[in-house]
A and B are shown apart, each in its own frame.
Chain A
Amino acid sequence: MVANTAEFALEIQELTRRFGPTAAVDCISLSIRQGEIICLVGHSGCGKSTLLRLIAGVDTPDGGTIFLEGKEISGPSAFTEPEARNIGFVFQDYALFPHLSVEQNILFGLKACNRAEAIRRSAELIDRMGITHLADRFPHMLSGGEQQRVALARALAPQPRILLMDEPFSNLDPSLRDRVRNDTLSLLKTLGTTVIMVTHDPEEALSAGDRVVLMKAGRIVQAGTGYDLHDRPLTPYAAEFFCDFNKVPGVYRRGKIETAIGGFSQTLAAPEGSSSTLYIRPQAISVARDGGDLSGRIVGRSFHGQFEQFLIRVDELEVPLTVRTTHRLPQDVDLVRISIDSGQVLAFSEIKI
């Protein structure tokens, strides 16, 4: 069996890994181009970490094939041991060797090249990562952010053909996380490294990757750019993974979903007169003291700093609508007018998952 072309850094075909009766990775196919940054995202237990471990070779698949730069590294005719794959791995807990200094940790993967060359390359990386002052320290003397940088430097030292990162930022303080993530990704972009990164954080997935792969129960739900997944989800699952929605019941007639609060144009592969659910983003509803299409009463409000969230009861609906707005309303206002931006409204054919 041959890979399609070598233009892909990594190609996965029908990969399966079972643990007892459940398939942690269920017949997944995925191709990754050179220099691409992929974000695998999903709730815990969806199989994203297992997929990463299969690619690294520390776990063995039950079926399917993996090609690295066109060469079969895992499949019916070959299995390359992890040490022979030259795939970098940054672990969630960083997995720095506690008995080795920062420099020795980075040198660990450079045993294959000669000593002088190894030291030169590690010095270059240490300099590039801005951790020169840490070189002689031991992992337990480093902060979380510093450990993360060392782990990255160590994984990059052997110039891996592809870099895998398992929740690399989740152990960092929220205040530090954004900065470290930006630094890391811009470095990886500059180096042109092909990256597969696992995260459970929807925002991180949308912002970090060239392409986002959403997984559920061992399968890929949807893959595409962040805009694709957020703005044009193919399934309710994908939609709700990246955004909270108001769900309003309705009926599909003549290219519209008719609900108690009006009709909204949607193109669905659904029979006339079938029931359908309208998905409205909280930020698609605007609130004002007058104007608007519907009247409502504020029954709850919570302040989040960047936005304010209202619960607004509308006579036509059983459940109050959740609304997020950056506009401020005076505290004593409770009767409001609302209008819905029909461009930010979604619906799904029942035949889809």
Chain B
Amino acid sequence: MSILLPHIPAIGWPTRRTGARWLFCASVVAVLVALPFGGLLVQAIQGSPGLWVHLISSILPVALADTLVLLCGVGIVTTAIGTAMAWLVTAHAFPGRRIVEWALLLPLAVPTYIIAYAYLDILHPIGPVQGAVRWILGYSSPRQFRLPDVRSMTGCILLLGFVLYPYVYIPVRAMFLTQSANLVDAARMLGVPRRAIFWNVALPLARPAVAVGVSLALMETLNDVGAAEFLGVRTLTVSIYTTWITRSDLPGAAQIALSLLLIVVVLVALERWARRRQRYSGDARRHRELEPRPVRGLRGAALLILCLIPILIGFAAPAFYLIVEASKRVRYAGLSPRLVDEAVSTISLATIATAVTVLFGVVIAYTNRLRPGAVSSWSYRLATMGYAAPGTVVAIGVLIVLATADRLVDQTAIDWFGISTGLLFIGSGAALIYAYATRFLAISAGSIDAGLARIPVSLDQASRSLGQSPTGTLRHVHLPLSKAAITAAGLLVFVDCVKELPATLLLRPLNIETFATHLYGEAARGTYEEASIAALAILLIGMVPVILLSRIGRSGH
């Protein structure tokens, strides 16, 4: 029945070529994403030792202290608001709870630089709020009475806290919804009074979720360049920006960027550590949702008002202010051609970046499925490392890489054809697209990967055994089946590109303005002309994922 043959040594075994091209593409994407960070490292090391001394003695102490104070403050504020709101809406049934539950997500749509921009005007000594306070108290001039200046560390912490708390609210609320029902009942039967449940059961339970949320909020804080600068807080991020823009000192900027990256690494490590025992949250046991306690009458109204405060401060007030200002402006001067140009460049840059990022995401996620192994899993890890890196850091890294590439191309062109190509990459939008893709690839790869994971592997095998190549399988099976995940990924990336400020500011081509950079420019100059329209446009685009998120939350019920 069987034929015995001499044993064949395994040496010279043909390596299987399935998906070799995919593996190659994924590695290229991974290297592209990793390059800016490598460039940063090289540039920082190449900087003269004197620079490091200067950095450590003059810039770092102030910037580091400010950054750490800001991080602590934002951490405390987001934890307090996010956890409290999550507990209020999951454990209590008061009138309007259903609406408040998703409206609490709305501040997510407001980028940090827009909230700072809006409140600078709203809380201006001669602005609407202070005016109203003086009118009520019977003062006539700002000299007699004024509120503490919003341009301070405290102001910055509070404003960032009120737009970033949803990062904590979302995971903590999910945790309360899925985990706490049986535990709360058990605790009550063991004699814990209802009042003490929050402190004794809910809060300890929420700790891993808080860790996840706070670390995201703090990464956004580190990413912020607008709010801190408008409000006069000199963070590391702002230092990087000014070091490059005003002093054109690339090695210096690279060194500060590296210090900032170190803080990010610490943050990620802390987050991993804080949720090291989170395994219990993932169990598949059928969970029972927490039954909220009915709260009616005055107490119910009080809870509603409590929940409306963060929505009002973090979303409604700035949105209302922007609508009023924008409509004033439109009525006064109409839509200027400049704004239309900005809209076109904002949307085209974001569209191209989204296409590139989604394409890269498909390559990374599909390769991980097609050829699981060390190469593809490292590609995945490298390709998604940009998610935690602040935009300024990515921008400086991209700048270093593309400046080198430009020099190389220019030199080659001169040597071979006698033509100078100049700043081919940096001068065009390519640098910006590169930075966007580096920074947002984690979002696209992650959600496409999750979409692909829902497709049974047997479908891949069925398609292959019916004659489709790996690429044909992707086209005929995976793409149609993960359309929703890919669309969602594209949408998230698009919105993030539109909102992105720090990298855009550093890398946009000379003659091009986007909504975000326009707003930054006017706020930095202290002029308030058309920025309100640009801000409103960003806000409206930013609301799209929030609405999607709230719909996912509801269908999850």
Contacts and interface: CB of A to CB of B under 8 A. Distances in A.
Contacts of B466: 83, 108-109, 154-155, 158
A95 B2 contact: no
B10 A79 contact: no
A175 B3 CA distance: 42
B1 A63 contact: no
Contact of A97 (B2, B12, B14, B459): B459
A60 interface: yes
A81 B465 CA distance: 9
B1 A30 contact: yes
A93 B18 CA distance: 24
B468 A4 contact: no
A205 B462 CA distance: 24
B461 to A, nearest CB: 5
A63 B8 contact: yes
A91 interface: yes
Interface string A92-126: 11011111000000001101100000000000000
A14 interface: yes
A72 to B, nearest CB: 11
A83 B460 CA distance: 11
Nearest to A1: B5
A83 B481 contact: no
> At the interface, is chain B mostly helix, strand, loop or mixed?
loop
Contacts of B476: 108
Contacts of A83: 464-469, 472
A109 B467 contact: yes
A62 interface: yes
B464 A76 contact: no
A93 B480 CA distance: 20
A127 B451 CA distance: 36
A3 to B, nearest CB: 9
A201 B2 CA distance: 25
Contacts of A57: 464-465
A98 B459 CA distance: 9
B232 to A, nearest CB: 55
A76 B12 contact: yes
A62 B16 contact: no
Nearest to A107: B466
Contacts of B465: 56-58, 82-83, 85, 87-89, 155
Contacts of A154: 462, 466
B461 A112 contact: no
Contacts of B477: 97
A4 B3 CA distance: 8
Query: For B7, B17, B461, which residue has the most chain A Cβ atoms within 10 angstroms?
Result: B461
Contacts of B17: 79, 81
Interface string A1-27: 100100000010110000000000000
A275 interface: no
A31 B461 contact: no
B2 A31 contact: yes
Contact of B14 (A56, A64, A79, A92): A79
A320 B456 CA distance: 48
A58 B4 CA distance: 26
A111 B467 contact: yes
A58 B466 CA distance: 12
A57 B469 CA distance: 12
Contacts of A62: 10
A316 to B, nearest CB: 43
Contact of A158 (B1, B456, B459, B467): B467
Contacts of A37: none
A76 B465 CA distance: 22
A34 interface: no
A86 interface: yes
Give chain A's interface residue range (CB within 8 Å of chain B). Answer: 35 or more
A60 to B, nearest CB: 5
Interface in B307-354: none
Contact of A29 (B2, B12, B463, B469): B2
A88 B467 CA distance: 10
B13 interface: yes
B458 interface: yes
Contacts of A223: 1
A92 B460 CA distance: 14
B468 A95 contact: no
Contacts of B467: 83-84, 86, 109, 111-112, 158
A306 interface: no
A78 interface: yes
B282 to A, nearest CB: 24
A190 interface: no
B458 A95 contact: yes
A76 B462 contact: no
A62 B8 CA distance: 11
B419 to A, nearest CB: 45
A30 to B, nearest CB: 6
A215 to B, nearest CB: 14
A31 to B, nearest CB: 6
Interface in A67-82: 76-79, 81-82
Contacts of A64: 8
Contacts of B18: 60, 81
Interface in B1-50: 1-5, 7-8, 10, 12-14, 16-18
Interface string B472-498: 100011001100000000000000000
A29 B458 contact: no
Nearest to B462: A95
Given A62-B10, A81-B18, A98-B481, A14 B5 contact: yes
Contacts of B481: 97-99
A108 B463 contact: yes
Query: For A81, A111, A158, which residue has the most chain B Cβ atoms within 10 angstroms?
Result: A81
Interface of B: 1-5, 7-8, 10, 12-14, 16-18, 456, 458-469, 472, 476-477, 480-481
Interface of A: 1, 4, 11, 13-14, 29-31, 53, 56-58, 60, 62-65, 76-79, 81-89, 91-93, 95-99, 108-109, 111-112, 154-155, 158, 223
6 contacts: A13-B2, A14-B8, A81-B18, A83-B464, A83-B468, A97-B459
Leading 8 A-B pairs by shortest Cβ distance: A109-B466, A29-B2, A95-B458, A82-B464, A95-B462, A89-B465, A91-B458, A58-B461
Given A29-B1, A58-B464, 9 more contacts: A29-B4, A53-B461, A57-B465, A87-B465, A91-B461, A91-B462, A93-B456, A108-B476, A109-B466
